[in-house]
Chain A
């Protein structure tokens, strides 16, 4: 399957209603074995990832409690939001929990596309806002410790 086809099939771009061939030119398949880091906190957020297979944990390393997993994300999810906002640095570590296949998309290119084509930019931002909202709600519920009975 071509990378363009893989991008079109991913939930993020599936119903975006735009030609993704330009994105495909700045995208590449990448694979991480279990326990390998995809990016580390403080690194440049120069890409975002579409997970096509596997599971990724977002983590924080702490001095006293070791690594704390904040959230896990899976196949058909998007990995990475920090590429959208200055200073374009990752806020968490991302580690593959299983063998994970992703499509890496160059962030600077997508930001440029968003600036040049406002309709495309609006659709990308709407999709990302929806993801951010869902993750924010999930974090709020985590704070409430809703599984505690």
Chain B
């Protein structure tokens, strides 16, 4: 469907484009990755799509490699009607996609810097395209750290990739969980407990953080204690995006519309808002 804007035909941004589901991969007991045909779809790390499973529409970050022209992935946790419908899709089913929307992680601007990526829970999903980008362009960045915290060992996402990234000698990967039993031989503690392992040049370092808001608040505090500049700490915010075009106001966060001005924002831009309870 086409709309008209000052006499020019434009694609209706409210109309989902239909893609075919290629595969559904179970990541954890409640989280699935939906792989859909790319069909020429291009995006940048950190952007999100509105996914429509014919029972409602939800904003979901894109979790695949932006350089992969064949497939787009979205990692979805089953929490409600729409996400349950998405997780129940089968290969060959149709899915509606609007996007990509939002500001991406500013990867080019951070070239030459050491990089700290901090993910909490499902927050690893919007960071995965960033990690693919960093590793594909490894020579353009200094040291790279990935710190990932999950609730329990069974909640760890992308286990194979974490193992693969850890096996490289040019990226430091640390994983921790909040709770574990004796069968777990890794770290136990919150993700901020991993930050003392980061040895970067604070003047030439950037951080990318995604996770629950409380986790991001404490993580940014620790990163600033480490000497990082708040302007080079980027966080991905989550709000109840509806139109994804900065019109409806559902995702308003102070003066920012998360769907349009975010989801990626520099910490310096929103630090004050994060501490205001009413926002």
**With A57-B188, A141-B214 given, is the CB distance from A147 to B181 under 8 Å?**
no
B180 touches A146 (CB 8 A): no
Chain B CB within 10 A, most for which of A70, A74, A145, A148: A148
A9: Cβ under 8 A from any B Cβ: no
Interface size counted on chain B using CB atoms at 8 A: 32
What is the size category of the interface that chain A forms with chain B?
20 to 34
Kindly list chain A residues whose C-beta atoms are within 8 Å of the C-beta of B122.
Answer: 149
B215: Cβ under 8 A from any A Cβ: yes
Kindly list chain B residues whose C-beta atoms are within 8 Å of the C-beta of A125.
Answer: none
A146 touches B214 (CB 8 A): yes
Partner of B189, one of A65, A71, A148: A71
Chain B proximity mask over A81-103: 1 for CB below 8 Å, otherwise 0? 00000000000000101100000
A144: Cβ under 8 A from any B Cβ: yes
Partner of A147, one of B182, B186, B215: B215
A68: Cβ under 8 A from any B Cβ: yes
**With A57-B188, A138-B192, A141-B192 given, is the CB distance from A147 to B180 under 8 Å?**
no
Kindly list chain A residues whose C-beta atoms are within 8 Å of the C-beta of B185.
Answer: 97-98
Partner of A149, one of B177, B182, B187, B211: B211
B187 touches A146 (CB 8 A): no
Kindly list chain A residues whose C-beta atoms are within 8 Å of the C-beta of B77.
Answer: 149
B189 touches A142 (CB 8 A): yes
Kindly list chain B residues whose C-beta atoms are within 8 Å of the C-beta of A148.
Answer: 121, 151, 212
**With A138-B193, A146-B120, A147-B155 given, is the CB distance from A66 to B212 under 8 Å?**
no
- A71-B192 Cα distance, complex, nearest whole Å: 13
B123: Cβ under 8 A from any A Cβ: yes
Kindly list chain B residues whose C-beta atoms are within 8 Å of the C-beta of A149.
Answer: 77, 120-123, 211-212, 238
- Please provide the 9 A-B residue pairs with the shortest distance between their CB atoms, ordered closest to farther: A149-B121, A67-B182, A146-B215, A147-B121, A141-B190, A149-B122, A69-B188, A69-B180, A72-B188
Contacts A67-B182, A142-B190, A147-B121 aside, 11 further interface pairs with beta carbons under 8 A come to A69-B181, A71-B193, A141-B190, A146-B149, A146-B190, A147-B150, A147-B151, A147-B190, A147-B212, A149-B121, A149-B122
A residues neighboring B (CB under 8 Å): 55, 57, 59, 65-72, 74, 95, 97-98, 137-138, 141-142, 144-149
